[in-house]
Amino acid sequence: MSSGFDVKDSIMQIKPYVPGESKLTTDKPIRQLAANEAPMGASPKAIEAAQDSVAQLNRYPEGGAVALREKIGERFGFPPEQLICGAGSDEIIALICQAFTGEGGEVLYSQHGFLMYKISALAAGATPVSAPESNLRMDVDSMIEAITENTRVVFVANPNNPTGSYSTLAELERLHAALPEDVLLVIDAAYSEYVDADDYDDGSSLVAKHRNVVMTRTFSKLFGLAALRIGWAYGSADVIDILNRVRGPFNVSVPAQAAATAALDDWDWAMDAKDLNNRLLPVVTQRIRGMGLTVYDSVGNFILIDFDDADRAAAADTFLRGEGVIGRGVGGYGLPTCLRMTIGTEEDMDFVTEALTRFIESEGA
Ligand SMILES: Cc1ncc(COP(=O)(O)O)c(C=O)c1O
């Protein structure tokens, strides 16, 4: 496809990201379960901090997000000078591609990996390469097989969206060991706060040991600040220095910095949000499995339901929308037989499971 402008061919290959929908034409209460957002909202302290900050809307933000980086460093135990903040982790993913690859470079990720890796790779002029997964999990051997002399950046979402699966620290170490030193391994840990598994690591232990590993995180999920667009990354001093060179000088807004800083001070709120999710996740999974549907094991704040048939998944989506439930079709991820559903409130989840039961009954009618 040609635009008539002198833009990179790879940009014209991008299929723009389609965000989860938030509106429906129904008079039923809407349950927005399409974008893995926090069902209980943000911490009241974070909301208050954002509100207070608007008195200074005429002022540019603090460009280096110094106070926020210090707070992140204190909370998670990382040196603030090895952190960078972005307008969502999406921005950091884009900056990584812009800085570490370009025409002739390859960006590797696994088959059902988060879509922004492909989009950001193409935007940077690089070639996206996806490696087959096994059982909807990143397969280290197939990733290693896909490494070429042109590989520049390797993305692993851990846990991955939309599959909900995670890679163990041992798997990540094995993948890292196979990478040349000038290839950057990006561990996208957007959902890491939800994960309790003993063999899981958010990537930070690899960052501490290796110059060519960076971990990305977000305030959009557990902390409920998706609207403000705020994410961050932890990497070696060299990687952070490179990213700071391509970062816009005022890339994170004043309300975003204020709210994120306050959110980290309200740790109990975040842990309550996690507990709610982690209590509902297995219950909802079991209930839907009990209906005869496949639900993949998830460690995130969402589940992936497999209807075994693309038409059936589409019919379920339409039925649920008629009930006010907005889930997420994941055909764009190569999973046309599946629907992804955020874990909402307890009431949302009761409603969703009842609505799915009604859907299955309606099929027999
Ligand atoms: C795996 C993964 N990484 C990154 C992001 C981007 O999050 P944000 O840009 O809101 O920080 C998402 C959002 O859904 C995600 O699922």
Taking Cα atoms as reference points, which of 334, 343, 332 lies closest to residue 18? 332
Q: Is the CB of 165 under 6 A from ligand 1?
A: no
Contacts of 312 (CB under 8 A, 6+ apart): 337, 363
Q: Give the number of the atom of ligand 1 that is nearest the alpha carbon of residue 221.
A: 10
What is the model's pLDDT at position 186?
98
Q: In angstroms, what is the span from residue 86 Cα to ligand 1's centroid?
A: 12
What is the model's pLDDT at position 1?
61
What is the model's pLDDT at position 164?
97
Can you state the angle between helices 88-100 and 116-123, rounded to 10 degrees?
40
Q: In angstroms, what is the span from residue 359 Cα to ligand 1's centroid?
A: 30
Measured between alpha carbons, how far is 97 from 333 in angstroms, rounded to an integer? 20
Q: In angstroms, what is the span from residue 4 Cα to ligand 1's centroid?
A: 32
Q: Kindly compute the dihedral angle of the four CA atoms of residues 66, 69, 71, 72, in this order, to the nearest 10 degrees.
A: 170
The two tokens of residue 35 are 């974008």
**What are the two backbone dihedrals, phi and then psi, of residue 289, each rounded to the nearest 5 degrees?**
-60, -35
Q: Is the CB of 36 under 6 A from ligand 1?
A: yes
pTM metric for this prediction: 0.96
Measured between alpha carbons, how far is 111 from 74 in angstroms, rounded to an integer? 36
Residue minimizing CA distance to atom 7 of ligand 1: 89
In single-letter form, the type of residue at position 232 comes to W
Q: Is the CB of 125 under 6 A from ligand 1?
A: no
What is the model's pLDDT at position 365?
72
Q: Is 361 exposed, middle or buried (0-12, 13-18, 19+ CB in 10 A)?
A: exposed
Q: In angstroms, what is the span from residue 244 Cα to ligand 1's centroid?
A: 20
What is the model's pLDDT at position 122?
97
Q: Give the number of the atom of ligand 1 that is nearest the alpha carbon of residue 188.
A: 3
Mutate to test the pocket of ligand 1, among 156, 161, 299 (most ligand atoms within 8 A of CB): 161
Q: Is 57 exposed, middle or buried (0-12, 13-18, 19+ CB in 10 A)?
A: exposed
In this structure, the strands spanning 231-235 and 213-218 are: antiparallel
What is the model's pLDDT at position 22?
74
Mutate to test the pocket of ligand 1, among 217, 221, 223 (most ligand atoms within 8 A of CB): 221
26-42 confidence digits (pLDDT tens): 888 999 999 999 999 99
pLDDT values of the chain reduced to their tens digit, one per residue, 365 residues: 677 898 999 999 998 887 777 777 788 899 999 999 999 999 999 999 999 999 999 999 999 999 999 999 999 999 999 999 999 999 999 999 999 999 999 999 999 999 999 999 999 999 999 999 999 999 999 999 999 999 999 999 999 999 999 999 999 999 999 999 999 999 999 999 999 999 999 999 999 999 999 999 999 999 999 999 999 999 999 999 999 999 999 999 999 999 999 999 999 999 999 999 999 999 999 999 999 999 999 999 999 999 999 999 999 999 999 999 999 999 999 999 999 999 999 999 999 999 999 999 999 87
What is the model's pLDDT at position 27?
84
Measured between alpha carbons, how far is 75 from 45 in angstroms, rounded to an integer? 16
Measured between alpha carbons, how far is 75 from 68 in angstroms, rounded to an integer? 10
What is the model's pLDDT at position 48?
98
What is the model's pLDDT at position 133?
97
Helix (H) or strand (E) segment spanning residue 186: strand 184-188
Domains and CATH numbers, the chain: 18-41+268-364 (3.90.1150.10), 44-265 (3.40.640.10)
What is the model's pLDDT at position 89?
98
Can you state the angle between helices 346-364 and 267-289, rounded to 10 degrees?
20
What is the model's pLDDT at position 364?
80
Q: In angstroms, what is the span from residue 90 Cα to ligand 1's centroid?
A: 6
